[in-house]
């Protein structure tokens, strides 16, 4: 998931909460149930509206925090590379290839070297 996609997810969630808050203000201002359903007119109670908005904002903070954490987790999991435990081939787009070919597709260059443990074993004649 790209950074732009992450931003869009959080943006649209935030936009939804802003729209919900706007609907509450509009309902308080025009008494929507009275106009839509012929309900009895209700008195304007801005304290109740402020409480509802505060609760929605609290919920929004929790949801947006959770969404950001979830999006970061998805990005983390998408960065894993499947590597065969036996032949060390790598999967890319349902195709299994040698690790060198995978790295070449990722614009990475390979070089051969020997880790310190293998070098020590090679020097002792345990590794051929």
Encode the chain (128 residues) as per-residue pLDDT tens digits: 677 888 899 899 999 999 999 999 988 888 888 888 888 888 888 899 999 999 999 999 999 999 999 998 988 888 888 899 888 899 988 899 998 888 888 877 767 788 888 889 888 888 76
> What is the reported pTM?
0.62
pLDDT of residue 15: 95
> Going by C-beta distance under 8 Å and a sequence separation of 6 or more, which residues neighbour residue 35?
none
69 close to 57: Cβ distance less than 8 angstroms: no
Q: By C-alpha distance, which of 90, 53, 71, 88 is closest to 3? A: 71
pLDDT at 110: 67
């Amino acid at each position: 998931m790209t950074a732009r996609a992450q931003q869009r997810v959080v943006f649209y969630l935030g936009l939804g909460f802003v729209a919900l808050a706007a609907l509450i203000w509009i309902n308080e201002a025009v008494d929507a149930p009275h106009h839509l359903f012929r309900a009895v007119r209700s008195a304007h109670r801005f304290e109740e509206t402020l409480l509802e908005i505060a609760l929605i904002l609290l919920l929004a903070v929790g949801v947006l925090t959770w969404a950001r954490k979830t999006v970061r987790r998805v990005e983390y999991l998408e960065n894993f590379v499947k590597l065969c435990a036996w032949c060390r081939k790598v999967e890319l787009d349902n195709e299994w290839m040698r690790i060198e070919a995978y790295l070449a597709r990722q614009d990475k260059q390979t070089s051969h070297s020997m880790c310190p443990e293998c070098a020590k074993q090679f020097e002792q004649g345990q590794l051929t």
